Amino acid sequence: MIDEIERAAREAGTILLEIASTGIRVSKKENHELVTTADLMSEEFLKKRLAEIEPSAGFIGEESWNGDYPDPPFWVVDPLDGTNNYAHGYPVFAVSIAFWNGSSIEAGCIYDPSRNETFSATAGKGAKLNGSVITTTDTHRLSDSILATGFPYHRKSDSLGVNLEILKYFLGRVQGIRRGGSAALDLAYVAAGRLDGFWEEHLKPWDMAAGVLIVREAGGEISSFSGGQWDIFSTGIVASGKSIHPKIQGGIR
């Protein structure tokens, strides 16, 4: 299954690059969130393509989800994670595909078309980047770490929707904080050891599902933003190498 998922993700990534080269049509969803023709075309393609891989599975996609969860198993898809980046020509965006079997994520893939990087995992079989095994870092101290986070689209001038005290806590203790604008790639980078950890409070299942499996299979730790066990209904996440995970959770608390 994972070979077919990777192939589908790369095909969707090709669609994104082709549209970017010919002209992107952009409209606004709400607040600061955008949607492009590429989001819609990529999702339409993936809905059909993934049905060929597993005809019995349902489908959750960012652009078509009505808020209801289908009976499992189902696909969890972000056809273009990092739409704002994509619309502005900032090359940090990805296609994210996960297969949820009803109790866990069975397979996941995050494809970065700009760098031709395919992060993938199958439950119990480890995580890979372009076919090579990847692992999370073993950093123990916040002072030796680089972390990433993200900011919600629903922020307003008088209500940012993000806890700045958490940001300030880590800013004073870590080597650096990055904000890439794609939660899927942030998780992939944790799995590949490019980041020591990532936290974000307001996310959707398609932002996280594939990355959760890839981080776990790379030897990392995953929890919900509140510190409990992550599941498909979680609205936030903490992901990192195992050694530093308690310290990141402690900083959030």
Place of tokens 């995970």: 245
Residues 147 and 179 in one domain: yes
Residues 97 and 14 in one domain: yes
Q: What is the pLDDT of residue 160?
A: 58
Q: What is the pLDDT of residue 35?
A: 77
Rg over alpha carbons for the chain, rounded to the nearest Å, is 17
Name residues whose C-beta falls within 8 Å of residue 97's C-beta, 6 or more positions apart in sequence. 5, 8, 9, 46, 50, 75, 76, 77, 108, 109, 110, 210
Residues 12 and 66 in one domain: yes
pLDDT grade, residue 158 (50/70/90)?
A: low
Whole-number average pLDDT of the chain: 93
Reported pTM: 0.94
Residues 84 and 181 in one domain: no
Among 106, 133, 160, the domain boundary falls at 133
Among 113, 133, 153, the domain boundary falls at 133
Q: How many C-beta neighbours within 10 Å does residue 42 have?
A: 27
Does pLDDT of 144 surpass 60? Answer: yes
Residues 210 and 110 in one domain: no
Stronger pLDDT, 130 or 154, i.e. the higher one: 130
Give the Cα separation of 237 and 72 in Å (integer). 22
Q: How many C-beta neighbours within 10 Å does residue 67 have?
A: 5
Domain count for the chain: 2
- Least confident segment among 27-36, 176-185, 218-227, 241-250: 27-36
Residues 119 and 154 in one domain: no
Residues 187 and 108 in one domain: no
Residues 115 and 157 in one domain: no
| H/E run at residue 49 | helix 37-53
Q: What is the pLDDT of residue 42?
A: 97
Residues 125 and 231 in one domain: no
Domain containing 172 — which CATH number?
3.40.190.80
Residues 179 and 233 in one domain: yes
Q: What is the pLDDT of residue 156?
A: 55
β-strands 74-81, 58-61: how paired?
parallel
Which domain range does residue 48 map to? 2-133
Residues 117 and 168 in one domain: no
Domain containing 128 — which CATH number?
3.30.540.10
Return the beta strands (E) in 14-116 as ranges: 26-30, 33-36, 58-61, 74-81, 94-100, 105-112
Residues 178 and 61 in one domain: no
